[in-house]
């Protein structure tokens, strides 16, 4: 009666033993799945959020312009209230409205608070007074955090010592915030996320996975005994995968545009270039991973890790300017974050590629570095790449 | 005199602190079928992998078809064909597609490539399988396909690493015959195997590799001669008196005599092998013994191998050491 149950238990134990044995044989898998992923995400979460209960503001260290066009006691008081708060430690004065509009999106400042002429007059007359907030369209989440932090601090705009009470109570004037920028729909953001994820996920596996598979099946060794050069192998695989990525991008875009009615704010050539930049960057990284001589199993784990990384640190969910500590540091050195920024700014906002020279330089340098290191490592690791 | 196609001096490969191949000196002339014999893990595959540029030697030099192994690796690759378990074909491509890919990589002009593919498909009876995926071929045909692929660029040197393992006897015989013909046409073949009888059948010379060292090189017959003790005679003779056995034991060059009725076994030195049969039968007939059958046994290459590698105990020790693949 107990025999079948014991047999099942023995089988289960055998499977567990076998799996542990397989994991033990793959040191990279152990290192990544048991050590790197848990340690990294736990520590970055702690660093990102700060200590429990710590008063932390995401806009505290952001350069934000304050343009006082009213030049009255009320507007001066508003500046003081905001500047004294812990939310706006880097309020910069001296910009004009035109300069701000021209600067936003280039990384110098990330938002601008404009107090227009007639601000105090409206407040005193009991009318609604307006302030305008310009924000960087390409920084996802910027609008919400800047606006909510202004609203939070306007409460301290003291009507007795100064001029006016804000919002409430009734009978007093209100301050209304006008937002100027593009608020993207979840779908538009989702489109960029989907596209980047599709590219990264597929491209990395196509390069690193294909070399690992070739290594395991012995076809890579076959190539190594022919006169083909390593450069030709890398360029061949890159061009092939570039072609695949063009098709892949048009499928995602076609679905988004013709099925879901998405609208692009740029031309197809720009979309294609942005897409291919991310693809080639990922291919370079794929070659780099492949040069370590890892197996297909390890490639899958690294791929999962890479995608997690991108979700967490590349500005999909929170813009890197709104991160802090180690999360921001990682986001700053993660070349995909710049690729994604190019993607967002071109596709969502319609910024021309030529205005994103800094990001393009970082991506170009990263691609060159990945390919160069991968080339040298693949050359010196021929022995690792044969069965 | 034939030109030397492969020449190595002190060729060594060290992994960590383990010498997989240790100071190999080798000269192989053009058109020779050279057998590299050794147990698994002896260093055969490592040596072949160095010679076909897959592994970088730790020490030593080698020239392949006149090209320096280290400095002119790309040229070396143009001169060699490799058939090895670790060097495979694309299983998801057809026979023809694999050959075209390799033809292109070896820079064959299109016309020459098509002609060569047709020639090889015909030579190896592959015409009806040209459009089949390699993954659908049987083990024998897949092995044959590996050889076809290795010959696409008409190499001067062919490395056949454990090429008959897993093959049915008919395919193995056909392959050996083909390889012999190939050598007769001027191609140099390095045939590595751990099947002792194979080199004896086809190789011009055999090198015995053990624990990374090339311990003996010679024609199979020369290697057999190097065995100092050999079982020369097995005679079926019932009721043999003990004094006859003693008399045979006292013969010059006889090493050992055992009588396990009705089989008398006489082992002698290689020097005495020529006259032993005559001397023993004279004693037996003189003593009135009835002889039912006489077998003269020459030492096999396997016995030579065991002798040269220090005997069975040494091989057991080697196996127990569990060295990696060679």
| Both structure tokens of A210 | 């294909």
Looking at the fold, whether A170 and A218 belong to one and the same domain comes out as no
B89 in reach of chain A (CB within 8 A): yes
Cβ-defined contact of B102 to A226 (cutoff 8 Å): yes
**Which residue of A lies nearest to B89 if distances are taken between CA atoms?**
A219
When the pLDDT of each residue in chain A is averaged and rounded to a whole number, the result is: 78
A218 in reach of chain B (CB within 8 A): yes
Last residue of a domain, one of A125, A146, A180: A180
Looking at the fold, whether A138 and A220 belong to one and the same domain comes out as no
- State the total domains in chain A: 2
Cα-based distances in Å from A47 to A8, A32, A320, B17: 46, 20, 14, 44
* CB contacts, 8 Å: B74 with chain A: 227, 229
Cα-based distances in Å from B120 to B95, B127, B130, B158, B321: 11, 9, 11, 15, 43
The C-alpha atoms of residue B292 and residue B235 are separated, in whole angstroms, by 7
Cα-based distances in Å from B71 to A232, B11, B57, B66: 20, 15, 12, 12
**Chain A (225-244) residues lying within 8 Å, Cβ to Cβ, of chain B:** 225-229
The C-alpha atoms of residue A106 and residue A272 are separated, in whole angstroms, by 22
The C-alpha atoms of residue A347 and residue A360 are separated, in whole angstroms, by 15
- Yes or no: say if B21 and B43 are a contact pair by the CB < 8 Å rule: yes
pLDDT of residue B230: 63
| Both structure tokens of A366 | 């990263």
For residue A371, is pLDDT > 90?
A: yes
The C-alpha atoms of residue B240 and residue B236 are separated, in whole angstroms, by 10
pLDDT of residue B153: 93
Q: How many of the other CB atoms lie within 10 Å of CB of B167? A: 18
The C-alpha atoms of residue A168 and residue A174 are separated, in whole angstroms, by 7
Cβ-defined contact of B105 to A223 (cutoff 8 Å): yes
Q: How confident is the model at residue A28 (pLDDT cuts 50, 70, 90)?
A: low
Percent of chain A with pLDDT over 90: 11
* Residues in chain B, total: 326
Last residue of a domain, one of A180, A207, A229: A180
The C-alpha atoms of residue B235 and residue B267 are separated, in whole angstroms, by 12
Least confident of A105-114, A348-357, B25-34: A105-114
**Which residue of A lies nearest to B152 if distances are taken between CA atoms?**
A226
Looking at the fold, whether A129 and A206 belong to one and the same domain comes out as no
- Nearest-CA neighbor of B248 among B236, B265, B231, B262? B265
Looking at the fold, whether A295 and A203 belong to one and the same domain comes out as yes
What is the residue range of A242's domain?
186-385
B80 in reach of chain A (CB within 8 A): yes
Looking at the fold, whether A70 and A197 belong to one and the same domain comes out as no
**Which residue of A lies nearest to B159 if distances are taken between CA atoms?**
A225
| Both structure tokens of A214 | 């070739």
The C-alpha atoms of residue A325 and residue A329 are separated, in whole angstroms, by 6
| C-alpha triplet A371, A376, A379: angle, nearest 5° | 120
pLDDT of residue A93: 86
**Which residue of B lies nearest to A213 if distances are taken between CA atoms?**
B90
Looking at the fold, whether A236 and A337 belong to one and the same domain comes out as yes
Closest chain A C-alpha to B150 CA, distance in angstroms: 10
For residue A160, is pLDDT > 50?
A: no
pLDDT of residue A52: 43
**Which residue of A lies nearest to B108 if distances are taken between CA atoms?**
A227
Which of A217, A225, A229 is the closest to B53 by Cβ? A225
| Both structure tokens of B128 | 């009806």
Asked if residue A371 belongs to a domain, the reply is: yes
B154 in reach of chain A (CB within 8 A): no
Asked if residue A23 belongs to a domain, the reply is: no
Longest alpha-carbon distance in chain B: 79
The C-alpha atoms of residue B156 and residue B186 are separated, in whole angstroms, by 8
The CATH class given to the B228-296 domain equals alpha beta
* CB contacts, 8 Å: A387 with chain B: 85-86
Asked if residue A20 belongs to a domain, the reply is: no
Closest chain B C-alpha to A221 CA, distance in angstroms: 5
Q: How confident is the model at residue A121 (pLDDT cuts 50, 70, 90)?
A: confident
The C-alpha atoms of residue B279 and residue B273 are separated, in whole angstroms, by 11
Indicate the SS3 state at residue A92: strand
| Both structure tokens of A97 | 């409205």
Highest mean pLDDT among A12-26, A113-127, A146-160, A283-297 belongs to A283-297
* CB contacts, 8 Å: A218 with chain B: 85-88
Asked if residue A49 belongs to a domain, the reply is: no
- pLDDT for B177-191, tens place per residue? 888 888 988 999 999
| Both structure tokens of A137 | 């369209």
Closest chain A C-alpha to B123 CA, distance in angstroms: 22
Q: Which residue has the higher pLDDT, B60 or B297?
A: B60
Looking at the fold, whether A81 and A224 belong to one and the same domain comes out as no
**Neighbouring-strand partners of residue B205:** B34
Cβ-defined contact of A382 to B54 (cutoff 8 Å): yes
- Domain extent listing, chain B: 4-224, 228-296
For tokens 């897409």, name the residue: A275
Which of B78, B89, B106 is the closest to A219 by Cβ? B89
A356: Cβ contacts below 8 Å, ≥ 6 apart? A341, A342, A345, A346
**Crossing angle (nearest 10°) for helices A296-313 and A335-343:** 60
- pLDDT for B83-123, tens place per residue? 987 788 888 888 999 999 999 889 899 999 999 999 999 98
Task: Supply the DSSP symbol for B133.
Answer: B
Q: How confident is the model at residue A161 (pLDDT cuts 50, 70, 90)?
A: very low
Cα-based distances in Å from A107 to A34, A179, A364: 38, 19, 19
Looking at the fold, whether A217 and A124 belong to one and the same domain comes out as no
**From edge to edge, which strands make up the β-sheet containing B67-68?**
B18-29, B4-15, B59-64, B67-68
Q: What ipTM, to 2 d.p.?
A: 0.76
CA atoms within 13 A on the CB side of A189: 16
When the pLDDT of each residue in chain B is averaged and rounded to a whole number, the result is: 86
B10 in reach of chain A (CB within 8 A): no
Which of A226, A229, A386 is the closest to B106 by Cβ? A226
- pLDDT for B45-96, tens place per residue? 899 999 999 999 999 999 999 999 999 999 999 999 999 877 888 888 889 9
Closest chain B C-alpha to A224 CA, distance in angstroms: 7
Which of B74, B84, B91 is the closest to A227 by Cβ? B74
**Which residue of A lies nearest to B103 if distances are taken between CA atoms?**
A226
Asked if residue A249 belongs to a domain, the reply is: yes
- pLDDT for A51-104, tens place per residue? 444 455 677 778 888 988 888 888 888 888 888 887 888 888 888 888 887 777
- Yes or no: say if A345 and A181 are a contact pair by the CB < 8 Å rule: no
The CATH number of residue A107's host domain is 3.40.1710.10
Cα-based distances in Å from A241 to A99, A205, A281, A299, A369: 43, 11, 12, 17, 19
Cα-based distances in Å from A220 to A230, A298, A384, B72: 11, 18, 11, 20
Last residue of a domain, one of A180, A200, A226: A180
Asked if residue A114 belongs to a domain, the reply is: yes
Looking at the fold, whether A139 and A195 belong to one and the same domain comes out as no
For residue A2, is pLDDT > 70?
A: no
Cβ-defined contact of A217 to B54 (cutoff 8 Å): no
Closest chain A C-alpha to B155 CA, distance in angstroms: 11
Looking at the fold, whether A176 and A190 belong to one and the same domain comes out as no
Mean pLDDT in residue range A249-267:
80
| Both structure tokens of B233 | 């005679």
Asked if residue A301 belongs to a domain, the reply is: yes
A261: Cβ contacts below 8 Å, ≥ 6 apart? none
Task: Supply the DSSP symbol for A227.
Answer: S
**Which residue of A lies nearest to B158 if distances are taken between CA atoms?**
A225
- Per residue, what are the HEC states of A286-305? HHHHHCCCCCHHHHHHHHHH
Task: Supply the DSSP symbol for B94.
Answer: B
B92: Cβ contacts below 8 Å, ≥ 6 apart? B133, B134, B135
Looking at the fold, whether A162 and A291 belong to one and the same domain comes out as no
pLDDT of residue A42: 57
Least confident of A32-36, A285-289, B125-129: A32-36
Cβ-defined contact of A227 to B106 (cutoff 8 Å): yes
Tell the CATH superfamily of the B4-224 domain: P-loop containing nucleotide triphosphate hydrolases (3.40.50.300)
pLDDT of residue A51: 45
Q: How confident is the model at residue A140 (pLDDT cuts 50, 70, 90)?
A: low
| Both structure tokens of B191 | 């045939």
Closest chain A C-alpha to B77 CA, distance in angstroms: 5
pLDDT of residue B320: 64
Which of A224, A227, A228 is the closest to B54 by Cβ? A224
B83 in reach of chain A (CB within 8 A): no
Which of B88, B106, B107 is the closest to A217 by Cβ? B88
Closest chain A C-alpha to B128 CA, distance in angstroms: 24
Looking at the fold, whether A313 and A360 belong to one and the same domain comes out as yes
The C-alpha atoms of residue B213 and residue B8 are separated, in whole angstroms, by 13
Cβ-defined contact of A383 to B86 (cutoff 8 Å): no
Cα-based distances in Å from B124 to A85, B119, B127, B139: 85, 9, 8, 15
| Both structure tokens of B321 | 């050491």
Cβ-defined contact of A387 to B77 (cutoff 8 Å): no
* CB contacts, 8 Å: A219 with chain B: 88-90
Cβ-defined contact of B53 to A223 (cutoff 8 Å): no
- Nearest-CA neighbor of A380 among A232, A230, A234, A217? A230
B283: Cβ contacts below 8 Å, ≥ 6 apart? B244, B247, B248, B251
For residue B309, is pLDDT > 60?
A: yes
For residue A169, is pLDDT > 80?
A: no
Asked if residue A21 belongs to a domain, the reply is: no
| C-alpha triplet B71, B74, B75: angle, nearest 5° | 85
- Count contacts between A and B (CB, < 8 Å): 56
Q: How many of the other CB atoms lie within 10 Å of CB of A169? A: 7
DSSP notation for B191-213:
EEES-THHHHHH-SEEEEEETTE
A43 in reach of chain B (CB within 8 A): no
Closest chain B C-alpha to A377 CA, distance in angstroms: 15
């Amino acid at each position: 009666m107990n025999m079948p149950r014991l047999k099942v238990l023995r089988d289960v134990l055998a499977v567990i033993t076998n799996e542990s044995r397989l994991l033990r044989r793959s040191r990279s898998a152990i290192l990544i799945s048991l050590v790197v992923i848990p340690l990294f995400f736990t520590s970055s979460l702690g660093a990102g959020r700060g200590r429990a209960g710590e008063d932390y503001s995401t806009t505290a260290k952001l350069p934000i312009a304050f343009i006082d066009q009213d030049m009255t006691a009320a507007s001066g008081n508003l500046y003081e209230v905001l500047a004294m708060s812990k939310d706006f430690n880097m309020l910069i004065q001296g910009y004009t409205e035109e300069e701000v509009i021209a600067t936003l999106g280039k990384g110098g400042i990330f938002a601008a608070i404009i107090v227009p002429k007639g601000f105090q007059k409206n407040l005193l007359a009991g009318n609604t007074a307006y302030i305008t907030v310009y924000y960087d369209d390409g920084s996802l989440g910027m609008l919400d955090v800047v606006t909510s932090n202004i609203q939070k601090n306007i409460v301290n705009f003291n009507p007795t010592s100064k001029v006016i009470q804000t919002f409430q109570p009734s009978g007093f004037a209100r301050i209304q915030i006008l937002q100027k920028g593009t608020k993207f729909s979840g779908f538009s953001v989702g489109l960029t996320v989907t596209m980047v994820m599709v590219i990264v996920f597929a491209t990395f596996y196509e390069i690193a996975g294909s070399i690992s598979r070739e290594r395991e099946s012995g076809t890579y060794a076959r190539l190594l005994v022919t006169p083909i050069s390593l450069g030709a192998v890398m360029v061949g695989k890159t061009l092939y995968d570039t072609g695949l990525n063009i098709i892949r991008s048009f499928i995602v875009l076609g679905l988004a545009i013709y099925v879901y009615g998405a609208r692009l704010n740029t031309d197809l050539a720009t979309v294609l270039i942005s897409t291919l930049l991310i693809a080639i960057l990922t291919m370079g990284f794929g070659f780099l991973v492949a040069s370590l001589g890892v197996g297909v199993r390890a490639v899958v784990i690294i791929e999962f890790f890479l995608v997690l990384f991108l979700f967490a640190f590349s500005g999909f969910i929170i813009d890197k300017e709104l991160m802090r500590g180690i999360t921001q540091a990682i986001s700053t050195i993660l070349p995909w974050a710049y690729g994604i920024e190019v993607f967002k700014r071109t596709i969502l906002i319609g910024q021309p590629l030529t205005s994103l020279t800094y990001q393009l330089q970082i991506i170009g340098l990263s691609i060159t570095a990945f390919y160069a290191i991968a080339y040298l490592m693949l050359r010196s690791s021929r022995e690792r790449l044969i069965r | 005199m034939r030109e030397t196609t492969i020449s190595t001096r002190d060729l060594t490969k060290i992994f960590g602190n383990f010498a997989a191949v240790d100071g190999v000196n080798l000269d192989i002339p053009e058109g020779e079928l050279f057998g590299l014999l050794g147990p698994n893990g002896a260093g055969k595959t490592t040596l072949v992998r160095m010679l076909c540029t897959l592994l970088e030697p730790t020490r030593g030099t080698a020239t392949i078809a006149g090209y320096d192994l280290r400095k002119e690796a790309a040229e070396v690759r143009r001169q060699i064909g490799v058939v090895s378990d670790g060097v495979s074909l694309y299983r998801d491509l057809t026979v023809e597609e694999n050959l075209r890919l390799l033809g292109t990589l070896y820079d064959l002009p299109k016309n020459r490539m098509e002609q060569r593919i047709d020639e090889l498909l015909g030579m190896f009876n592959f015409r009806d399988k040209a459009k089949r995926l390699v993954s659908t071929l049987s083990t024998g045909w897949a092995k044959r396909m590996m050889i076809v692929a290795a010959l696409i660029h008409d190499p001067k040197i062919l490395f056949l690493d454990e090429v008959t393992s897993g093959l049915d006897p008919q395919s193995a015989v056909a392959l050996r015959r083909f390889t012999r013909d190939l050598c007769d046409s001027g191609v140099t073949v390095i045939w590595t195997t751990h099947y002792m009888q194979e080199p004896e059948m086809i190789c011009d010379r055999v090198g015995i590799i053990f624990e990374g060292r090339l311990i003996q090189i010679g024609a199979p017959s020369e290697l057999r001669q190097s065995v100092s003790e050999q079982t020369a005679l097995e005679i079926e003779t019932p009721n043999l008196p003990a004094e006859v056995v003693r008399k045979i034991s006292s013969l010059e060059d006889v090493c050992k005599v055992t009588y396990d009725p009705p089989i008398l076994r006489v082992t002698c030195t290689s020097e005495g092998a020529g006259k032993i049969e005559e001397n023993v039968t004279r004693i037996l007939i003189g003593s009135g013994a009835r002889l039912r059958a006489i077998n003269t046994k020459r030492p096999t290459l396997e016995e030579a191998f065991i002798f040269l590698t220090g005997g069975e105990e040494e091989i057991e020790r080697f196996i127990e050491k569990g060295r990696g693949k060679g």
